[in-house]
Amino acid sequence: MPFAARLIPSSLFFSLAALASASVFAQQALPTQVDAALARAKVPREAVTMLVADADGTRQPRLAWRTQVPVNPASIMKLVTTYAALDLLGAAYNWTTPVYVEGTVNNGVLNGNLYIKGQGDPKLVLERVWLLLRHVQGLGITTVGGDIVIDRSAFENTVEGDPGAFDGEPLRPYNASPDALLVNFKSVNMTFAPDRAGQVARVSYEPPLASVAMPATVALTPGECGDWRTALKTDFSDVNRIRFNGAFPAACGEKSWAVAYGDPRTYSLRAIGGMWAEMGGRVGGQMREGRVPAGLKPAFEFESPPLAEVIRDINKYSNNVMAQQLFLTIGLTQKNRGTFEASRTALGQWWRDRIGTGEAQPVFENGSGLSRDERISAAALGKMLQVAWRSPVMPELMSSLPAMGVDGTLKRRTLRSGGSAHLKTGTLRDASGVAGYVDGASGRRYVLVAIANGENAGAARAAFDALVDWASQDN
């Protein structure tokens, strides 16, 4: 039996046909409260696309407004990446980071090299790197006589470009590029704690970076807290040294600031080297990048949390680099190539087989929505959400989405109707929207897609909230 026919239940073809015919409703009037909210926000009706349809696809859409128009979905594209990953890899999928020991261990000394091979784990945060290194020490190794070598070859052609190229914010961790050995999102968290007696703020760093001078204190200054980050006058221009040319306002109390490290290519080496030294470990050789020798067997494989847990971070908090890690993992597992091109091919094939060809296929770039080029129509996304609703991994996808008024990016947005919704948000300079599932007062569940494109797209948020309210009030 063909793959598509085997995966798509026959009862779903009606829902696909219903969404495919949604263009018939393209000029139906928007709900009054939604139209009014758009007018107040000065967002033209022609700048938005909206769809509200039964999750099970048994009826014609309640609302279909410009649903055939391909739009930039911003981070809503993470819905496609995470559902495809659940469908292709399974909710229990784990990434592994194998560690190789080359040589013998005598009296705590490894007489050879230690290799750590990255394979795309999106959640290799500091706590988990510490556990990995503790496992190394559990092998009886406190000193690596040779080199500590990291192997990043699983992802090809993902060399870092200008981290500020997308939006001019090079220090923002969300602009980190993917990496086969992605450690702590390539960021450093600086914590400033005022010491009034010493007239300084004490600075701690997570992680400590090997061969980077990191000042332990910065001067205190009186007055209101205000823009304390600017007041620090931090200089990151030298990747081997962090400088504070200003002062920290004492009125701020303790503050933390996460920044992307200025030399992302060497971040993993510096972070692992710094943490290994902090744990009492020593290296006789050097920290370097290289390949694991052919034929060498791993001493152990460090496992990630399951995919179902990872996508909660991706969707609830809209983590871009984790989404790109997952996107590349799809290419690596399905096409045996950890490249964006392989991932686009794999996602395109999956879409045709699983979702169908009744709507224009999405345009993929990196799967995170941090893109000016990715495109999808509301009709296509709605169709995918209906397929997902009927799939065995629906509970995992649903639980990964922000719950309105409860958590994630929707924690501060509530429904006036008191209803509930699980929706992925998306925001760029010229794109904004929500998409997911809404519970109706009648007991029915709806898929909802609402996206605005244009220079005033962000102002449409109130209209989207009004649409969610309208969708929930179906009795």
CATH of the domain at 405: 3.40.710.10
User: CB atoms < 10 A from the CB of 360, how many?
Assistant: 14
**Which percentage of the chain shows pLDDT scores above 70?**
90
Contact 454, 474 (CB under 8 A): no
What mean pLDDT do residues 369-379 have? 96
Which of 287, 281, 301, 285 has its CA nearest to residue 137?
281
Same domain, 300 and 312: no
70's CB contacts (< 8 A; 6+ apart) are: 360, 363, 375, 376, 377
The count of structural domains within the chain is 2
Q: What is the mean pLDDT of residues 93-112?
A: 97
Q: The tokens of 262 are what?
A: 């200025």
> 27 with 123, same domain?
no
pTM of the prediction? 0.90
Q: Residue 437 corresponds to which tokens in the numbers above?
A: 């599932």
pLDDT bin (cut points 50, 70, 90) of residue 18 is: very low
Q: Which residue has the higher pLDDT, 319 or 162?
A: 319
CA gap 219, 415 in Å, rounded: 46
CA 446 to chain CA centroid, Å, is 25
Helix (H), strand (E), coil (C) string for 335-362: HCCECHHHHHHHHHHHHHHHHCCCCCCC
Q: What integer pLDDT is reported at residue 281 of this predicted model?
A: 98
Q: Look up residue 318 and give its amino acid.
A: S
The rounded distance, in Å, linking the Cα atoms of 52 and 382 is 8
Is the separation of the CB atoms in 331 and 343 below 8 Å? Answer: yes
The answer on pLDDT for 1 being more than 80 is no
Residue 63 above 50 pLDDT?
A: yes
State the pLDDT at residue 171: 66
Task: State which of 305, 338, 359 marks the end of a domain.
Answer: 305
Q: Is the pLDDT of residue 10 over 60?
A: no
| In contact, 77 and 367? CB cutoff 8 Å | yes
Q: Which of 190, 189, 201 is nearest to 252 (CA)?
A: 201
- Compute the distance between CA of residue 460 and CA of residue 38 in angstroms, rounded to an integer: 6
Rg of the chain over all Cα atoms, to the nearest angstrom: 25
Task: Verify that 83 and 150 share a domain, yes or no.
Answer: no
In this structure, are 206 and 74 located in the same domain?
A: no
Closest CA to 367 of 77, 119, 73, 76: 77
Query: Do both 60 and 116 map to the same domain?
Result: no
Task: Compute CA 201 distance to the chain's CA centroid, rounded to the nearest angstrom.
Answer: 33
Q: Partners of 255 in the beta sheet?
A: 192
Residue 4: the pLDDT is 38
User: Do 177 and 219 lie in a common domain?
Assistant: yes
- Which position has the higher pLDDT, 170 or 123? 123
CB 19 within 8 A of CB 386: yes
Question: If pLDDT is split at 50, 70 and 90, which confidence band does 417 have?
Answer: confident
| pLDDT of 19 strictly over 80 | no
**The last residue of a domain, from among 287, 305, 323:** 305
Token representation of residue 327: 């996107």
Average confidence score pLDDT of the chain: 91
Length of the chain: 475
Residue 473 CB neighbours (<10 A): 17
For Cα atoms 331, 288, 169, give the angle at the middle one, nearest 5 degrees: 60
pLDDT at 444 over 60: yes
Q: What is the largest CA-CA distance in the chain?
A: 78
The yes-or-no verdict on residue 42 having pLDDT over 50 is yes
- 274 with 357, same domain? no
Residue 162 pLDDT: 56
Task: Identify the DSSP state of 184.
Answer: G
Q: What angle do helix axes 78-89 and 307-316 make, rounded to 10 degrees?
A: 180
Co-location of 279 and 130 in the same domain: yes
Place of tokens 């904004």: 432
Section 25-29 average pLDDT: 56
Distances (CA, A) of 103 to 110, 111, 297: 6, 5, 12
Percent of the chain scoring above 90 in pLDDT: 85
Mean pLDDT over 315-320 rounds to 95
Asked whether residue 147 falls in the same domain as residue 228, the answer is: yes
What's the CA gap between 438 and 431, in Å, rounded? 22
Residues 198 and 54 in one domain: no
Same structural domain, 275 and 348: no
Residues in contact with 274: Cβ distance below 8 Å, sequence separation at least 6, in sequence order: 207, 208, 209, 210, 212
What confidence score (pLDDT) does residue 205 get?
97
Q: Cα(193)–Cα(346) distance, rounded to whole angstroms?
A: 48
d(CA 405, CA 468): 12
Domain that holds residue 24: 3-92+306-472
What is the side-by-side order of every strand in the sheet holding 217-221? 248-249, 217-221, 200-206, 187-195, 255-260
Asked if residue 17 has pLDDT above 80, the reply is no
Domain boundary among 289, 305, 321: 305
